Amino acid sequence: MLPMKSLGYDKCRNKRKIKHVDDLGDHVENDDVSNLVNEQPPQSIPLDIYDPSNWENLNTKLRDLLVEKGPRRDLFGEKGPKDKSSRCFSSTFYTRYLPNGEKRDREWLVYSKDVDKVFCFCCKLFKRLSLKCQLANEGYGDWEQLSLLLKEHETSIEHIFHMITWKDVRLTLEKNETVDKIVPDKINQEKQHWRNVLPRIISVVKFLVKHKFTFFGTNDRIYQNYRGNFFTQIEMIAVWDQVMQMHIGRVQNNEIRCHYLGRNIQELIILLASEIKSAIIKKIKEAKYFSVILDCTLDSNDEKQISLLLRSVDVSTSPIKIEEYFLGFLNVCSGQGLFEELRSVLKSLDLNLDDVRGQGYDHGSNVRGRDQGVQNKLLDINRRAWYMPCGCHSLNLTLCDIVDSCSEAKSFFGVIQNIYTLFSHCSKCWKILEDNVKGLTLEQLTISHYESEIESVRAIRFHALEVREALLQLAETVSDLKVRCQALSLATYGFDFEFLLRMIIWFDILSVVDSVSKYLESKDMLIDVAIDEVKRLINFFEEYKETGFTQAMTVAKGIATEMEIDYVFNETCKTRRKNHAENVNESSPESVEESFRIHYFLHIVDQVIGLLKRMFEQFQAYEDVFGFLFSSEKLNSLDDNNLKSCCGHLEFSLKHGKSCDVDGNDLFEELKFLQGNLPKEKMTALEILNFIKELGLPNACIAYRILLTFPVTLASAESSFSKLKLLKSYLQSPISQEKLDGRDLISVENDLLENIDYEKFINDVATKIAIRNASH
């Protein structure tokens, strides 16, 4: 046993109990420890260097020693002490279970008995200062949530990067070639080479991702057939560029181990994605308040992908901007499971759920459900996370709910889909449609976005005779027997009077909804304008309920006369939904027509009105709290009493427990000042925020920042749907099927890719690769 003073523990003997040096580990020799101590005598050496709670200030040799020996586990300690909830650490956490039933050892997971927490071995040793994950810092001890955290952590970009670093350093140490033994000149030469090569490779990555091109083919070698776009771009650069020619030559001669001309380009993509994510988190933290947007989108394989976006106000720019940032995809699951994953992701990003001020969703009960959806779960723990119906999404959702509730509506859109499918069978079939229907074309039905099908319905609404003629021509000319039979069946039985009437009704509904939906996407759409548009829709459908059926019957009869179709309803109409309140003679022709009016027309219109009224109520609740801030006109219209009342109501609405976003009295004084100093022309909420940015009005600034954080377009060119459109474009492209981590983030947030400090980034990466290559 070494003397106590030689270990440097004399200054801390009162803090910790002295143990034998053997506690450092079975394979750590006393000479190793002495050498480490002699290198830094003033610094006390941790009693147990294998305990990750002691790794805050490790020198290079201690870190190399840990990497060489690897993480240690107590094979006899299967469980830790129980917490207040009677939960504890278990050795089962060391095992990862894959979907196919296979098991994988989490070799990176380390448990500290001293602090009763778990750590990530590689992230703790090689973390960067910006990494806020608890597994890489103070450790994690919430055993109930640990499984979710481990699942999120082991697939994160940062963890994968640190695992690669760990294995590279370990391989170097196994060869007994530490960095200190490598000739500095060799590293500098290699580093300069990579300073020249990396900008070229990064340019190729940026180009392919921006244009959503796939990277690889079936062959992973350069200058080989079927090698894919990445190698093709590299070869094109090499034709004119000596730097790339030399790099390819070194690769072909096996002079360098890490070259990024193959599947290991994944490492560079991860590094770029990590830079983008760090920039996003920095901006969101500067903004403090943010909104959560979850959007359920089908990819090119028709699989659901739930994307996570965060919306915040970027106050660092001039003028101030509203920004939305994509942060990845979440697993599609139940409302409770999805909420837990959302909470875990935000925690791993070091973002506080208490700072969420808004939430907006596309469709799906697992996110928008009032009882079990994410919306309600988030409100349970943060009442200030206002749910805001997204205008266009809500209108689309209204139509989806109506179609889902009515089998006859589903049947109608099914016929539209069948017509499209037949004509899109081949180019010859499509040419027949184009020859008969001039100026309009059918579009493929998108089941989750019925308001986008206006053009398909319009084509048949105004060219029903021509579409039927095209179907008959298709049945006569196409060689495919199945297509011929389907075309003849649709032309003969599909275009009956009842179908024409349904077509007129749905065209009327889709036309007005489509016009409002497009208007809500305009750059100068205000929340009060959105409320007025919803009111107008409700008024339209209430009037349409009284007169629309008669008008639709008149138009349908005109088209039927032109097509020589009898005004006959299917007899099944009168038995679809029995209404005991109606006293109708079922044997008369009018009873069938009346049954159609009651059970189809009125059913659909009543559904529309009811859903629109619920949407209006949600908008109205929002306006009751924030309406006085929507514009300078609304603000200036308030007298002192009403303004003070609005400020008090806003303070209460933004209070949660002891936390409050604004002081109502101070806000009142600041807004009174604004009333007398704002320009005379009408200003939007965003313009007012830019006006008061430098005036030193903190409460007013906070109030407007929160207002603009909500996922609704408010007086800004920043549409809530811009980022979602980029996501949909990415998911429908072939690039989304290549499972390269981080590329989804780069593709959607490629504008941030341009703002990376590439000089520093390239220098850091070049240094790392140079050391790795020079040591082999």
355 and 383 Cβ atoms separated by less than 8 Å: no
In which band, very low, low, confident or very high, does the pLDDT at 302 lie, cut at 50, 70 and 90? low
Query: What value does the mean pLDDT of the chain take?
Result: 79
Nearest Cα neighbor of 309 from 324, 297, 323, 319 is 324
Burial (0-12, 13-18, 19+ Cβ within 10 Å), 105: exposed
CA angle 508, 616, 689 (to 5 degrees): 115
Q: What is the pLDDT of residues 13-50, one digit of tens each?
A: 333 333 333 333 333 433 343 344 334 444 444 457 88
Rounded-to-integer distance, Cα 124 and Cα 146, Å? 17
- The encoded tokens of residue 665 equal 């009295």
16 and 35 Cβ atoms separated by less than 8 Å: no
DSSP-derived 3-state class of residue 380: helix
The most confident of 259-263, 352-356, 402-406, by mean pLDDT:
352-356
Q: What percent of the chain has pLDDT over 70?
A: 77
pTM, entire model: 0.68
Q: What is the pLDDT of residues 554-603, one digit of tens each?
A: 999 999 999 999 888 876 554 444 444 444 444 444 578 888 999 899 99
Determine which of 3-7, 33-37, 349-353, 700-704 has the lowest per-residue pLDDT on average.
3-7
Looking at residue 728, what is its pLDDT? 57
Q: What is the pLDDT of residues 322-347, one digit of tens each?
A: 888 988 877 665 556 788 888 888 98
The CATH class of the 274-387+730-737 domain is alpha beta
In which band, very low, low, confident or very high, does the pLDDT at 734 lie, cut at 50, 70 and 90? low
Position 260: which residue type? Answer: Y
In which band, very low, low, confident or very high, does the pLDDT at 738 lie, cut at 50, 70 and 90? low
SS3 letters across 105-140: ECCCEEEECCCCEEEEHHHHHHCCCCCCCHHHCCCE
Task: Phi first, then psi: give them for residue 738, nearest 5 degrees.
Answer: -85, 110
CA angle 134, 772, 38 (to 5 degrees): 70
| Terminal-residue alpha carbon distance, the chain | 39
Question: Helices 603-626 & 391-404, crossing angle to 10 degrees?
Answer: 150
Looking at residue 221, what is its pLDDT? 82
DSSP-derived 3-state class of residue 356: strand
Say which DSSP state 260 is in: S
315: how many CB neighbours lie within 10 A of its CB?
A: 17
- The domain segmentation of the chain, as residue ranges, is 48-168, 182-262+758-774, 274-387+730-737, 397-515+528-599, 631-709
72: how many CB neighbours lie within 10 A of its CB?
A: 18
DSSP-derived 3-state class of residue 585: coil
C-alpha distances in Å from residue 276, one per residue of 164, 230, 246, 327, 772: 20, 22, 30, 10, 25
**How large is the C-alpha radius of gyration of the chain?**
33
708 and 688 Cβ atoms separated by less than 8 Å: no
